[in-house]
Structure 1
Amino acid sequence: MKRILSLLFILPLGYSCSVAQNSSKYANVITEESSKNHLIILASKDFAGRGTNQEGGEKTAKYIADQFKSFGLKPLANGSYYQPVSLVQVSYKVDQFKLANKEFVYGKDFYVQGDNTSATFNADDIVFVGYGIQDEKFNELKNIDISGKVILIINESEPVDAQGNSIITGTRTKSTWATSRFKRLQELTKLNPKLILAAGSQNEEMIKRMNNRGMMGRVALDKGNSNLDQRVSTPIVHIGNAITDQLLGSINTNLVKFKSVTSTTPIPAKIIKSSLNASMGVKNEKFTDPNVIGYLEGTDLKDEVIVVCGHWDHDGILPDGTFFPGADDNGSGTVGVVEIAKAFSQAKKDGKGSRRSILFIGLAAEEKGLLGSEYYVENPIFPLTKTVACINIDMIGRIDDKHLNGDHNYIHVIGVNKLSTDLKPIVEKANSDIKMKLDYDYDHPEEPMRLYYRSDHYNFAKNGIPSLFFFSGLHPHYHTPEDTVDKIDFPMMVKREKLIFNVTWEIANRDKKPVVDMPLEDAKGTGR
């Protein structure tokens, strides 16, 4: 009996050592060379920022699927590696904009602030109302009916007299009309004009900034609402110098000249004889971008599934050709998913496959609001009740501002104090041979950035699935065209990949799945 008892103690210890040795062996399948090669491709100009509903995004999804196929991962999304995510792009489209039969270009000559459904706008003349001020002492719209009219305003701070006093208050103190240029626009819309043309010296720069991103619109999950967020209201067309000069020139003035004239009484509205023909409004474009999913079947616990994920999308390419490489966000996380999939696949080929099954997912449309992960949890490949953990990799390639002047050997681990008390010991055991500083600062209950709620694992956590988020932190090039491969710290990135591999290996091979013993409400952020 004593000998039998001794064997019973020795066998689990031997199994544990074997598992640890295999973990170390297959973690080394992940290399700097292969990680760098992947990232150079994904952050290249050819992939154009991996934009949602863009060619670069399509190339990215295919690249990930090709890697999964080469590793021997199974395609389980109806026999494909692609799970199409049903999306709708809500954007403002201008089909035509003419003044006096001269065509102007959206994004070059003007931008539109509007949410009207697509409509045509025609007029034979335009009403110029100066600054559009409606004050008891200075009302430029007194006795003027602008309902149904196209109007032109100078959308700048209220004018001052030669002494620098407000023409409304008569003092250096500005009126409430000066607090916001947009207040005047909002007040004008209450008078039901057909269209507002807003001129101003700031518009040229704003056209560049607003239209580069604004023309791309916003994206949401398509849940069958074809009129998503559309309302009927007055469009405000912010016009550049070319349009302003054409319109004001017809009444013998220009922007600079008009602004130089000060008067304590309103200048009467003037009619500008110019035709306007426009067709524009909000349009919904339905499309799909895929979650890319590869499946690695487990052994004796194969019915239990771990999700290892990272979003492949970034900010894409703008109309002016500017693209966002997204080397760190989230090229690094995408590479992490691919490299970890490679390591687990090699273990399986060697007969050392994980006990639990693993779904490797490159998630779509995270930058648009965690949409790919939201779609997956609403349309899971395996029941969420069988999904025992989510490991999310989002930005693991840089040294953040917090650690620039300190120890670079770190990783932010987010989620260890949510849903499961098993998560922190699992991470710390996995780190025993990596010996990296585990930074838990972003897990503090009062952490102002609320990062736990801002990446894809959160949609899994909301469904009661213990979830971890691995993150190297924010930096000055976050969401800028300067997030490039040359700034990636590859030795640290690979070290982080190996830690995440070890964490996944531990969850995939331990006897018991992570227990859910902490309140779900905390994971949902209730009361925060």
Structure 2
Amino acid sequence: MAVLVLGWGVLGCLAAIRPTHAVEPNEMSLPSADASLGIDLRAAMIDDLKFLTSEKLKGRSSIDSTIFEAAEYVGRRFRSIGLETNVFGDSPLQIVDISVGPKLASEEQNFLTITIAGKPVVIADSNATDDASGTESLALERDFVPLAIGTNSGTSQAGLVWVGYGIRAPEHRYDDYAGVDVQGKVVMMLRKEPGANDPTSPFDGVDNSRHAFFDTKVSTAIDQGAAAVLIVNDPASIERMVRDVQKRRDAERDRLAKTRQRLRTLPEDAVNSREKLQSQIARIENMLADMSSQVEAAERGLLGVGGAGLSPRRGAEKTAGVATGDSATRPPIPVLSISRELANRLMPKPLEAIEAAIDSNWQPRSFPIANVKVQLGVEISPSTVQSPNVVGVLPGRGNLADETLVIGAHFDHVGMGEFGSLAPDTIEIHNGADDNASGTATLLRVAGEIAQLFSGPNRPAHHRRVVFIAFTGEERGLLGSKYYVQHPRFPLSSTVAMINMDMVGRLNDNELTVYGTGSASNFQSLLKQSNELTRFRLVEVPSGYGPSDHASFYEAGIPVLFFFTGLHSDYHRPSDDFDKLNLDGMDRITDMISQVSERLATSPERPVYVKTDSSVKIRRQLTVVIGVTLSQKPSGVVLSSVVASGPAQESGLLAGDQVVKVGKTSITTIEQFMDQLRQRSPGDLLPLLIRRGDAELRFDIKLRRR
């Protein structure tokens, strides 16, 4: 994939977005005037949500060009609020390089030429229109693909030796290299190992042993002095590859049919919906066309450039007693995946016959291939794309102006679902309304409220600088926040705290989870004060760790608070859409976070960092009902009432029963019981141990959908 180099219009030029130094305090000026005072923040939040979840952004993948459209929007909104956006040169963007794996250079640099008795091997061209041009030279990505598990750059020219599965396994008295000289030669081998799916195989047959691993095979070839490796896919792997692609293709064909049917049934006046469905149909048709070529590649057995992993562990076979001792010092060699059709052209008998012969008695069948010469070259480079963090600043005032409060949320999601989706068989836009358009829109609204408060006539005389950051790359491993921490715009030593919002759009049962409550000594009291008006049922998690951007700051020694409304069944799926958001809940969460932010920005005392436990469980929302109300008693959790015709009553539970255990877990608090319910799905059986009087009784409660 090519590096993204995009123009920036109102946000300035990418060439200017390079400063990564920490600047001195008071380097920026205050917003010009009360820029945010006239904004209807609720209406703006809804507009933000609708834009961020729109089809045009295609799920806001951090490696797709649409992430820049989203970033440009957030940058404009920061400016409209009144924040300083000339943060990196004349832009709010901090550019992050995101690795997307290896990529091939030109066809001229990645080539394969094979001759048999001096004549070049050619492959029939299925697209040829006349017999005279029905064959052509070996083609990149049709007949062969260089693999990143080998050297990134190199050429080779040598004779060819067939080495079976490329295995040396003295523990099984099996050695494909016995009796053949591969020094300086190109070796051709099969993927996997003898007797796949045969439980009588000495290599297990059911599960792959280490001898089936790509890096084991390549390292063994290096150890034996081979100049290059050609890998031929095995029939079972090809069948699985084809089946997987066909499954995805069939799912897209089904989605296309359903989308066309929806289009046919739309009323004439549904213009916007019609345009949206037509756009979806065009995208699906394009994907289906691409999938046809994917099926063809799978049928040929070709791996992708990164399909065998990266460069192998040097000396991996030393621990197995099969290395000669110098493989760790040998340089990597070129490795190519070649089609079975091409491999069959080079062999004296069909591959299937040779595979069957090896599997018949578990004995190698290796030999030099006479009169065959191979010339090849590979040129593979790491591939990165540029992706932006978006930063807006409200400068500080007075005695606290030298210190910084960071408020952030990631604005990327999983795009079309190719990376990170929990609906892996569907290539469809994942709009990510809750994850994390909700956090981004809340970030913008909090920014507006703080800007109003700190820019109005009654603004405080002393407050910290507030830095608002929309992070990219969170879904790929907190990449944007990690980059900011490594290249802070303002010194981390003067950064007093970080507030993070990730998935705050599905408030349920008035339950708001806050992580990091133990990451500073005063955070619990701060939350209690801030919750006096909003009156959430707060679930406090002391740890400052977890799978979101606050963790990057906490690991750098900065206290954090992370606001979260819980995982749900639409998480990382195409169904996480705008119409499922709890907008009233987001209003109240904004109020809560704004109060916490104001206190952290104005309090003379700096929060004191506290080390917390790194083991964190991410809370799920409750999706089941059991049909009881609970009371916390000194003795434990008691059923205060049982709902008529509910699962609990139908199973025989009574008011006054005390919960002793759920499964093997002892229950002493209501929160422990609720945590057990959160782990269950509708239809599950909840195993309960109940104390009734002096007796202990066991029940299996079939849970219903909430």
Q: How does the TM-score come out when normalised to structure 1?
A: 0.72
One-letter code of the match for 2:163?
A: V
Matches of 2:597 and 2:199 in 1, distance apart?
67
| Partner secondary structure for residue 103 of structure 1 | coil
Matches of 2:509 and 2:352 in 1, distance apart?
54
What's the offset of the Cα at 1:66? 0.6
| Partner secondary structure for residue 294 of structure 1 | strand
| Cα deviations by residue, 1:91-122 (Å, 9 ceiling, x for unpaired) | 3222334464221328x975734263333x34
Stretches of structure 1 lacking an aligned partner (at least 5 in a row): 1-25, 219-230, 400-406, 445-450
Q: Is the 8 A contact 2:196 2:205 kept in 1?
A: no
Residue 277 (1) aligns with residue 376 (2): yes
Q: Is the 8 A contact 2:96 2:389 kept in 1?
A: no
| Partner secondary structure for residue 92 of structure 1 | strand
Match 1:365 to one of 473, 476, 479 = 473
One-letter code of the match for 2:166?
A: G
Residue 506 (1) aligns with residue 607 (2): no
Matches of 2:442 and 2:344 in 1, distance apart?
57
| Partner secondary structure for residue 440 of structure 1 | strand
Q: Is the 8 A contact 2:407 2:443 kept in 1?
A: yes
| Cα deviations by residue, 1:126-167 (Å, 9 ceiling, x for unpaired) | 433222232343322212233443333222342279x9632x
Match 1:244 to one of 340, 359, 382 = 340
Matched residue, 1:11:
none
Match 1:80 to one of 72, 90, 98 = 90
Matched residue, 2:212:
181
Matched residue, 1:59:
69
Match 2:223 to one of 187, 190, 204 = 190
Matches of 1:191 and 1:336 in 2, distance apart?
60
One-letter code of the match for 1:112?
A: L
Matches of 1:232 and 1:398 in 2, distance apart?
54
Match 1:130 to one of 164, 171, 183 = 164
Matches of 2:576 and 2:355 in 1, distance apart?
42
- The alpha-carbon distance between structure 1 residues 353 and 278, as it changes in their structure 2 partners (threshold 3 A), is farther
| Partner secondary structure for residue 295 of structure 1 | strand
Matched residue, 1:382:
490
Matches of 2:305 and 2:434 in 1, distance apart?
21
One-letter code of the match for 1:277?
A: L
Matched residue, 1:142:
178
One-letter code of the match for 1:77?
A: V
Q: Is the 8 A contact 1:114 1:281 kept in 2?
A: no
- The alpha-carbon distance between structure 1 residues 248 and 411, as it changes in their structure 2 partners (threshold 3 A), is farther
| Partner secondary structure for residue 165 of structure 2 | coil
Matched residue, 2:57:
47
Matched residue, 2:149:
114
Matches of 2:150 and 2:565 in 1, distance apart?
38
Match 2:607 to one of 493, 510, 515 = 515
Matched residue, 1:423:
523
Matched residue, 1:310:
409
Residue 468 (1) aligns with residue 503 (2): no
Matches of 1:160 and 1:378 in 2, distance apart?
47
Matches of 2:145 and 2:49 in 1, distance apart?
37
Match 1:153 to one of 189, 194, 199 = 189
Matches of 2:394 and 2:196 in 1, distance apart?
71
- The alpha-carbon distance between structure 1 residues 297 and 177, as it changes in their structure 2 partners (threshold 3 A), is closer
Which residues of 2 match residues 213-228 of structure 1 at below 5 A? none
Which residues of 2 match residues 430-469 of structure 1 at below 5 A? 430-441=530-541, 443=542, 452-469=545-562
What's the offset of the Cα at 1:395? 2.5
One-letter code of the match for 1:80?
A: D
- The alpha-carbon distance between structure 1 residues 316 and 88, as it changes in their structure 2 partners (threshold 3 A), is same
Matches of 1:159 and 1:390 in 2, distance apart?
56
One-letter code of the match for 2:608?
A: V
| Partner secondary structure for residue 153 of structure 1 | strand
One-letter code of the match for 2:94?
A: P
One-letter code of the match for 1:456?
A: D
Matched residue, 2:388:
290
- The alpha-carbon distance between structure 1 residues 30 and 429, as it changes in their structure 2 partners (threshold 3 A), is farther
Q: Is the 8 A contact 2:514 2:562 kept in 1?
A: yes
| Cα deviations by residue, 1:47-67 (Å, 9 ceiling, x for unpaired) | 234334531122122111010
Matched residue, 2:663:
none
- The alpha-carbon distance between structure 1 residues 110 and 29, as it changes in their structure 2 partners (threshold 3 A), is same
Matched residue, 1:342:
448
- The alpha-carbon distance between structure 1 residues 387 and 211, as it changes in their structure 2 partners (threshold 3 A), is farther
Q: Is the 8 A contact 2:158 2:186 kept in 1?
A: no
One-letter code of the match for 1:118?
A: S
| Cα deviations by residue, 1:11-41 (Å, 9 ceiling, x for unpaired) | xxxxxxxxxxxxxxx9x9653x543432332
What's the offset of the Cα at 1:334? 1.8
Matches of 1:312 and 1:175 in 2, distance apart?
44
What's the offset of the Cα at 1:86? 5.4
- The alpha-carbon distance between structure 1 residues 39 and 267, as it changes in their structure 2 partners (threshold 3 A), is same
What's the offset of the Cα at 1:325? 3.5
Matched residue, 1:221:
none
One-letter code of the match for 1:61?
A: A
Matches of 2:44 and 2:70 in 1, distance apart?
17
Match 2:332 to one of 221, 230, 233 = 233
What's the offset of the Cα at 1:309? 0.9
Matched residue, 1:22:
none
% identical equivalent positions:
26
Alignment root-mean-square deviation, CA: 4.1
Matches of 1:164 and 1:386 in 2, distance apart?
63
Matched residue, 1:10:
none
One-letter code of the match for 2:391?
A: I
What's the offset of the Cα at 1:423? 0.9
Matches of 1:362 and 1:351 in 2, distance apart?
28
One-letter code of the match for 1:505?
A: E
Matches of 1:123 and 1:484 in 2, distance apart?
56
| Partner secondary structure for residue 328 of structure 1 | helix
- The alpha-carbon distance between structure 1 residues 133 and 429, as it changes in their structure 2 partners (threshold 3 A), is same
| Cα deviations by residue, 1:457-500 (Å, 9 ceiling, x for unpaired) | 23333444321112233445545555544554444444333322
Residue 411 (1) aligns with residue 512 (2): yes
Which residues of 2 match residues 90-101 of structure 1 at below 5 A? 91-95=101-105, 96-98=110-112, 100=121, 101=137
Q: Does 1 or 2 have the higher relative contact order (CA < 8 Å, sep 6+)?
A: 1
* Number of equivalences: 456
